[in-house]
Amino acid sequence: MKGHAAKARQFLSDNERADWQDKALWAVRQKRDVAAGSVREWEQLREQASQIKENVLSNLDNYLLQFEQAAIQNGVQVCWAEDDRQFNETILRIIRDHQAQKIVKSKSMLTEECGLNHFLEKEGIEVVDTDLGERIIQFRNEPPSHIVLPAIHLKREEVGELFHEKLHTEKGNSDPTYLTAAARVHLREKFLEADIAITGVNFAVAESGTVVVCTNEGNADMGVHAAPVQIHCMGIEKIIPRTEDLGVFTRLLARSATGQAVTTYTSHYRKPKPGGQMYIVIVDNGRSEHLGLSAHRNSLKCIRCGACMNTCPVYRRSGGYSYGSVIPGPIGSILAPVKQMKDKQDLTFASSLCGSCSNVCPVKVDIHSQLYKWRQEISEKNLFPKAKSYSLSIVGKVLGSNGMYNFSGKAARWALKNMPRRLIYNKLNTWGWGRELPEVPEMSFKEWYKKNGNERKRQ
Amino acid sequence: MNGKDNKQNTEMGSRQTIIERIRQNKPETKPLPGSFTGNQEPVSKEQLSVCFRESLIKAGAEIAEPDGNEGLEPYKEKHFPEAVDLTDTAVRKKYSSEISKKELEKTGTVIIEGQFGVAENGAIWLDETNFPNRLLPFIAERLIILLNKENIVSNMHGAYRKIDLRNTGFGVFISGPSKTADIEQSLVYGAHGAKRLTIVLFD
Ligand code: SF4
C-alpha cells in the first residue's frame, strides 16, 4: 500500500490542479476567519465548547443512558452497535423488518467509516446519497475527499461530463446552476419514493433525547419527512448534555466549517412523525477504546467541522485522497492510528506541526501536539520505517546537544548557499522533493540576537 | 428463539459492553461548565432589527414589509394570491399529516408563521405548531415566513432559552433558501428545499 508521501507526490504531479485546490481551500479558511472574527466572544465560546466536551467524555456512560431513556420515552427505537459489522447488520435488519427497498441517505461520516453503502449494495439494496457533493462522488464510485466538501477535488467540467452521462444533461454544459437544477429533479424523485431515510447526527441532546442535524441543502429534512421510516446514526461521542449547549455549538460549527453564521437548516428531531417510525443507532466502533488512550482522548471532542483541513498546508497541497483514510487531514491523522497504528503511522508525519489546525479548531482539540505525541509513541514502539528513524536519530542527537545544534545550523546555512542544488535535491534526500529551499539568512537568530541584543544594551 | 430475537439480544449485549468499556476507560470527572455568559452588553431593538436584516440578506433571503396602514391580510392576498397559507385553519386541516406526497409535491408557495428570529445569523425558529405536515416547509418551491418584528433575539443562546426541546417533536431553524456550493464552490440556491425565502416582517 502506498503511503501518504507517495500519494501526495502523485497529487502534486498535476501542478495546476494542486494549485487550484490549494486556493479553493484557502478561500474557505479565509471565510472562516471573517466569520470567527465577527463574534467578539469567539475564544470564550471555544473554551466553553471544549469544557462541555471534556465533561461529556468524563461522564459519557451516564449521558448515553440518559439520552437512551429520553429517546425511548419519545417513542424512538434505540439500537446499539459495537463495531462496523454490527452497525451494518442493524441497519440491514431495520430495512428487512420494514421490507424496504429504497433508501436515501444524507451526509454521515459514520456510515462512511462503517462502509454501509458497500455492505447494503452487496445485499442488493440501493442507497442514494442525497447531498449534492456526495451524489457526485457516489456516481463516480469515489469516497469523499473532505468531510464537509466531499467533491472539492472536482472541477465543474468533470461534473458536467458526469451528469451528462448519468442524468442526461446537455453535453458540454457545466454551469453549476444548471447542474444543480438537474440534480434537484433527479433527487426529488428519490426522496418521494424512498422507504427509509438515513441521516448522520451532529449533536444528540441527553436531557431531551433530541438529535440535531445541520445541512445547507435541506436534504436531511426532505428525506426524513418524506419517508415513513427515519434512522439517525450517531457515534457515542455526539452527546451534549443540555439544550442550552446547542447555543454554543451551533454558533461555532458553521462559522468554522464554511464561514456561514449558521447552516440554512438546523433540524431537531425528537419524535417520529405521526404514523412514522424513528430509530437512533448508537455506534461505538473503537471510540470507547480510544477514550482509554489518555494522550489522545482529546480528539474525541471533534465536531467534524473540517476547519483543520482547510487550514492545513499539507492537506491543501496533498489532497484528501492522499491520506487513504475515511477522515483525512490533521484530525484524520490522529484518528487513523488509534485503530491502525502500524499501517497508518506515516500519517502522523503528514503535518508540518505548524499548529494552525489547533488554532482554528472550535473545540480546542490540541491537534498538532497530538500528532507529535503519536510520533513519539510510534518511535518508542520502533514502528518507523528504517530511513526515517535513522535521520530522526541524528536529529535527536543534534537537537540534544547545544554545541552540535549551533554548529549544524551554521553548517546548514553555509551549505544552502554554497552547495549545488543537486546535492540538496537528490534522490536520497526525500525532504527536497516538492520543497523549495528558503532564502538563507546571513546569520542565525541566535547570532543576530547576540549582536543586536548587545548593541541595544550599549545604547 | 428466532433469528430476529437473537440479533436483538446481541444488540442488548452490545449496549452493556459499550457502557462497561466507557466506564473502564473514561477519565476522572470534569465539571460541566455553567451557562454561557458571553457578551452581555444590552442591545437596542433597532440594533437587533438591523443586524437581523443584514444576516438574512447575507443568507440569501428576501425581506418584505407591509407599510403601516396596509395590514398583513391584504398584503398576503395582494402579493401571494396562490399561496398555501398555513396561518389559515381551514388550509391547515387540508394539509394535515395524511395528505399524500403527490399532492404535496405540487405546492408552490407556502406561508408559515415563524416564532422568532435570531439577529446574529438570520435563523427563524419554527416547530410543528406552525405547520401541520413536517415536509411542507422543505418541499415548497417558495417559502414565505411571517414574523412579528418584536420577536427577535440577539444570538443562539437567547434562542435556545426560548425553546422547550423536551416538548418539541420536530423543530427547525431556517436561515435562508436551500443552498449548495458543492460544484466548484459556486453558490447555487435551491438545492433540495425552497428556492426562495421571503421574510415578511409585521407589527
Ligand atoms: S479537529 Fe477541530 S477543526 Fe478539525 S474537524 Fe474536528 S472540530 Fe473541526
More confident: A310 or A427:
A310
CATH code, B176: 3.40.50.10420
| Closest-approach residue (CA) in chain A for B125 | A266
Q: Are A183 and A135 in contact (CB under 8 A)?
A: yes
A432-459 b/e with 16+ CB inside 10 Å = b? beeeeeeeeeeeeeeeeeeeeeeeeeee
Atom of ligand 1 nearest to the CA of A304: 5
Overall number of domains in chain B: 1
Residue B119 has a pLDDT of 96
Residue A229 has a pLDDT of 98
Probe residue for ligand 1, chosen from A42, A107, A148, A256 as the CB with the greatest number of ligand atoms within 8 Å: A256
- The shortest C-alpha distance from A181 to chain B (Å) reads 7
Overall number of domains in chain A: 2
| Closest-approach residue (CA) in chain B for A222 | B138
Place of cell 447555487: B188
Q: Alpha carbon of A49 to those of A213, A362, B33, B77, B100: distances in Å?
A: 18, 7, 9, 46, 42
Q: How far is the CA of B180 from the centre of ligand 1 (A)?
A: 21
Residue A332 has a pLDDT of 83
Domain end residue (candidates: A261, A285, A309): A285
Among candidate residues A127, A102, A254, A333, the one with its CA nearest the CA of residue B173 = A254
Residue A50 has a pLDDT of 98
More confident: A404 or A314:
A314
More confident: A314 or A241:
A241
Domain end residue (candidates: A267, A285, A303): A285
The strands making up B170-174's β-sheet, listed across from edge to edge, are A239-240, A203-205, A210-215, A265-269, B170-174, B124-127, B116-118, B152-153
Q: Is the CB of A362 under 6 A from ligand 1?
A: yes
| Closest-approach residue (CA) in chain A for B121 | A261
More confident: A172 or A375:
A172
Is B193 a domain residue? yes
More confident: A153 or A399:
A153
Q: In a structure prediction context, what are the per-residue pLDDT tens digits for chain B, which is 203 residues long?
A: 444 555 555 667 899 999 999 999 999 999 999 999 877 778 899 999 999 999 999 999 999 999 878 889 999 999 999 999 999 999 999 898 678 888 898 899 999 999 999 999 999 999 999 999 999 999 999 999 999 999 999 999 999 999 999 999 999 999 999 999 999 989 999 999 999 999 999 98
Is A298 a domain residue? no
Q: What pLDDT digit, counting tens, does each position of A24-57 carry?
A: 899 999 999 999 999 999 999 999 999 999 999 9
Q: Are B134 and B187 in contact (CB under 8 A)?
A: no
H or E element that contains A215:
strand A210-215
A444 pLDDT above the threshold of 70: no
More confident: B105 or A224:
A224
Is A293 a domain residue? no
Is B34 a domain residue? no
Is A17 a domain residue? no
Is A207 near chain B, with CB under 8 Å? yes
Name the pLDDT band for A13 (thresholds 50, 70, 90): confident
Residue B2 has a pLDDT of 46
Residue B145's domain spans which residues?
45-202
Is B9 a domain residue? no
The C-alpha atoms of residue A380 and residue A295 are separated, in whole angstroms, by 15
More confident: B84 or A428:
B84
Largest CA distance in chain B: 72
- Residues comprising chain A, all counted: 459
Q: Is the CB of A60 under 6 A from ligand 1?
A: no
Mean pLDDT score, A107-112: 94
Q: Is the CB of A257 under 6 A from ligand 1?
A: no
Residue B1 has a pLDDT of 41
**Residue numbers in B near A191 (CB within 8 A):** 192
Q: Are residues A274 and A394 in the same domain?
A: no
Among candidate residues B171, B148, B159, the one with its CA nearest the CA of residue B119 = B159
Picking from A175-179, A380-384, A428-432, B19-23, which range would have the lowest pLDDT averaged per residue? A428-432
CATH code, A160: 3.40.50.10420
Residue A399's domain spans which residues?
389-458
Mean pLDDT score, A401-428: 55
Tell the residue nearest (CA) to atom 2 of ligand 1. Answer: A361
Is A147 a domain residue? yes
Domain end residue (candidates: A233, A259, A285): A285
Tell me the DSSP string of A372-439.
Answer: HHHHHHHHHTT-S-HHHHHHHHHHHHHHH-HHHHHHHHHHHHHHHHHS-HHHHSSSS-GGGTT-PPPP
Kind of pairing between the strands at A229-235 and A277-283: parallel
Predicted ipTM of the assembly: 0.95
Q: Can you tell me whether residue A105 is helix, strand or coil?
A: strand
The C-alpha atoms of residue B57 and residue B122 are separated, in whole angstroms, by 8
Tell the residue nearest (CA) to atom 6 of ligand 1. Answer: A302
The C-alpha atoms of residue A340 and residue A331 are separated, in whole angstroms, by 15
pTM (2 d.p.) = 0.88
Q: Is the CB of A361 under 6 A from ligand 1?
A: yes
Is A383 a domain residue? no
**C-alpha A153: how far from chain center:** 15
Is B148 a domain residue? yes
Is A116 a domain residue? yes
Paired residues of A268 in beta bridges = A212, B171
**Residue numbers in B near A262 (CB within 8 A):** 118, 121-123, 156, 173, 175
Q: Do B31 and A274 touch (CB under 8 A)?
A: no
B74-96 b/e with 16+ CB inside 10 Å = b? ebbeeebeebbbbeeeeebeebe
Q: How far is the CA of A401 from the centre of ligand 1 (A)?
A: 36
Q: Are residues A397 and A271 in the same domain?
A: no
- The shortest C-alpha distance from B70 to chain A (Å) reads 31
Probe residue for ligand 1, chosen from A237, A325, A331, A338 as the CB with the greatest number of ligand atoms within 8 Å: A331
Percent of chain A with pLDDT over 70: 83
What dihedral angle (degrees, nearest 10) is formed by the CA atoms of A160, A162, A168, A173? 10
- The shortest C-alpha distance from B112 to chain A (Å) reads 16
Residue A284 has a pLDDT of 97
Name the pLDDT band for A319 (thresholds 50, 70, 90): confident
What is the overall mean pLDDT for chain A? 86
Residue A230 has a pLDDT of 98
Is A292 a domain residue? no
Q: What pLDDT digit, counting tens, does each position of A359-413 carry?
A: 999 999 998 888 888 788 887 777 666 555 555 555 555 555 555 555 555 655 5
Q: Can you tell me whether residue A193 is helix, strand or coil?
A: helix
Mean pLDDT score, A63-91: 97
Is A243 a domain residue? yes
Q: What pLDDT digit, counting tens, does each position of A193-215 carry?
A: 999 999 999 999 999 999 999 99
More confident: A233 or A345:
A233
Q: Are A195 and A229 in contact (CB under 8 A)?
A: yes
Partner residue facing A262 (CB), from B121, B133, B181: B121
Residue A448 has a pLDDT of 65
